[in-house]
A and B are shown apart, each in its own frame.
Chain A
């Protein structure tokens, strides 16, 4: 794993520029390569990239500071990041982190934004937001490669491999095995095979007819918001512009979601086919698949599918011999930023910048990548669109409800016997999902991820559909043995970490919520703090700039309403309690002055109230 002394930073950057080009929009991709090679982005790389791509140093440094997987100081030659979703914690990840830290001779515990780096530079341990392995966790990333099904034995072995300096290629293959765990197949998962039928159908029938089928199907976006796909494609097709783009949003960052990983693994052709059909309909020549950094291990597979489809005439110039139908796809990697799942932030990231959301309107359909008309759809949406064009709109309408045609693929994790991928017709009640996956004594379900809704048993008769419970697919189950405040603490820390920092309600509100939740968890909260949480949450919903801030307080507000006891049983008796330990706040001054007299202490002030 030692960085070979023969490769200089400048040399590596020059090679990367020669191979991947000098488009300033490739900045992020170059940075990711440098990070992988050197375990950080050295100053020399910042200088070289700044000069070669004609972007300012500040822009380069801003990107490094923004993306969680880029660092301006060295991490270990083995850079280990534990997935820190609540589902990982429920499977015992905290204990395993402690075990690994101890085995590696490190001190303390990593926190979001604070990695532990061993003095010899061999290894570092940090945290990552949900890595999308919730059905086979606890999970970690080592140098970007996913390791699943962690237990004490496996962690022990990892510590040995690090101590022995064994290169990753020689680590046991089963560490890196990722299972699909498809438990229930429906319309989409029933059949992964395609031979380009949708593209042929498009060429036979014409773009307008293909779009009419998508319209007829009533297909709505599967990323959560549920915008009508045909409308999006039509807006883009009819928008004025010199170029058009198709973007597949594979930045599956919502905690508890992992179905796109499975679709990209086993249904790759269908996803690519959906993108190709979309390109044919809107008239795009270039497409991007924005792959979250956590799924980098899928890159060789995805590249090989693209390559094969080029060879088969399904991608590239004159697709299936049709004049003027040219379309190809590039894969862009993300680098650990939840916000990049929002389509305008994703486009910013595609352009090599920090993933800060854009003001909308204009929407990407008129002004997206390179300010040109762009369709951004979820992985699952493209898959469904390919089948709709192939088999017709009525095929999708055969299942689902009036407003939600077809099926939804769920990522089920947490307290159940059979976590994994379940495809259901829209209209399926929550209790059926619980029964099928073997969930018992269920206390709560968190649907659609940390940004989604917390369901109590009173909600279990509600149905999965845009008109009742819209979901991007995350379905996390908590039984009665769990303290739901652990979930709230996890999500509150997640949102405080993942706020892009652009707007105050989200940046400050997220941190305030996290602090208040921690205060309550420590048994120091009061009724006043709960009312503050409601107030701040309401302001975040109303005043934040984008969806991240609008949804970040959901889990707090939902649980305050539906599970008040998780807060109430921890409240201190006083109507107001300080937000920090006053006497402990004098600790540094006592140490510096050597004082320990009565004036050097602050007594408990619980009698102080209004």
Chain B
């Protein structure tokens, strides 16, 4: 039996909503694990990334670690997909782009209501934030964009099954309407 395609997922600067939406495929998850093998993903809690056929990225790029993870995914995955609004265009986290990083950090760690022991954290363990939040295609090449906040479980299911079967991806209208 030929090896099943390996799939990895990661959430960068997102809310895990896209991963939750993936889990919303409900019992079809059983079909999915028949079709693919999961590599690194929060669903399996595997922390290291192997060579994969498919990488699904939720969330935008907001800090140095996001860049590192995203580049690792690009190196390891044959096909890389931006899943959801934050990965596609920065989404809600990118609203901070209206402000300077100094304003954001001072509000959170110095001037905000109820802050004790104020001061901007500078522990080397903590990844530094980028000046702005970016969509992932501004950092690495992306093969597919799956929009939505989050993309519906059905849309994710259609996308995965058609991609795995090697068909051109076509969504029924009910999966791409916006209201």
Contact = CB atoms under 8 A, between A and B. Distances in A.
Interface of A: 528, 575-576, 578-580, 582, 585-590, 592-595, 597, 599-600, 602, 605, 608-610
Nearest to A576: B141
Interface of B: 64, 67-68, 71, 74-75, 78, 80, 100-102, 105, 120-122, 124, 127-132, 134, 138-141, 143
B124 A578 contact: no
Nearest to B125: A599
Contacts, number: 74
Most buried by B among A578, A595, A609: A578
A593 B141 contact: no
Given A579-B138, A580-B138, A585-B132, A609 B74 contact: yes
Contacts of A585: 130-132, 134
Contact of A599 (B74, B100, B101, B127): B127
B138 A592 contact: no
A597 B120 CA distance: 17
Contact of A592 (B75, B105, B124, B141): B105
A222 to B, nearest CB: 42
Contact of A602 (B64, B75, B100): B64
A593 B102 contact: no
Most buried by B among A580, A585, A602, A609: A585
Given A592-B101, A592-B120, A593-B120, A608 B74 contact: yes
A588 B101 contact: yes
Contact of A608 (B71, B100, B130, B134): B71
B139 A582 contact: yes
Given A586-B131, A593-B121, 17 more contacts: A528-B141, A576-B140, A576-B141, A582-B130, A582-B139, A589-B128, A589-B131, A594-B122, A595-B122, A595-B124, A599-B64, A599-B124, A602-B67, A605-B139, A608-B140, A609-B141, A610-B143
A578 B64 contact: no
Contacts of A597: 124
Contacts of B138: 578-580
A593 B101 contact: no
A597 B71 CA distance: 20
Contacts of A576: 140-141
Most buried by A among B68, B75, B120, B130: B130
A586 B122 contact: no
A553 to B, nearest CB: 20
A575 B74 CA distance: 13
B4 to A, nearest CB: 22
Contacts of B102: 588, 592
Given A528-B141, A597-B124, A605 B71 contact: yes
Main secondary structure of the interface of B (DSSP, over half): mixed
Nearest to A590: B128
Contacts of A589: 101, 128-131
A602 B140 CA distance: 14
B18 to A, nearest CB: 22
A499 to B, nearest CB: 18
Nearest to B68: A602
Contact of B75 (A528, A580, A608): A608
Contact of A600 (B67, B75, B120, B128): B128
Contacts of B139: 578-579, 582, 605
Contact of B80 (A528, A595, A600, A610): A610
Contacts of B134: 579-580, 585
A87 to B, nearest CB: 33
Nearest to B70: A608
Nearest to B100: A588
B29 to A, nearest CB: 28
20 contacts: A576-B141, A578-B138, A585-B132, A585-B134, A586-B130, A587-B131, A588-B101, A589-B128, A589-B129, A590-B128, A592-B102, A593-B128, A595-B122, A595-B128, A599-B127, A600-B124, A605-B67, A608-B71, A609-B74, A610-B74
A609 B141 CA distance: 7
A610 B79 CA distance: 8
A586 B67 CA distance: 11
Nearest to B122: A593
A600 B65 CA distance: 10
Contacts of B68: 602
B95 to A, nearest CB: 17
Given A585-B130, A586-B131, A592-B101, A610 B71 contact: no
Contacts of B67: 582, 602, 605
Nearest to A601: B64
6 smallest A-B Cβ distances: which pairs? A593-B122, A576-B141, A589-B128, A579-B138, A588-B101, A585-B130
Contacts of A575: 141
Nearest to B71: A608
Contacts of A593: 120-122, 128
Contacts of A528: 141
Contacts of A600: 64, 124, 128
B46 to A, nearest CB: 22
B49 to A, nearest CB: 14
A588 B120 CA distance: 12
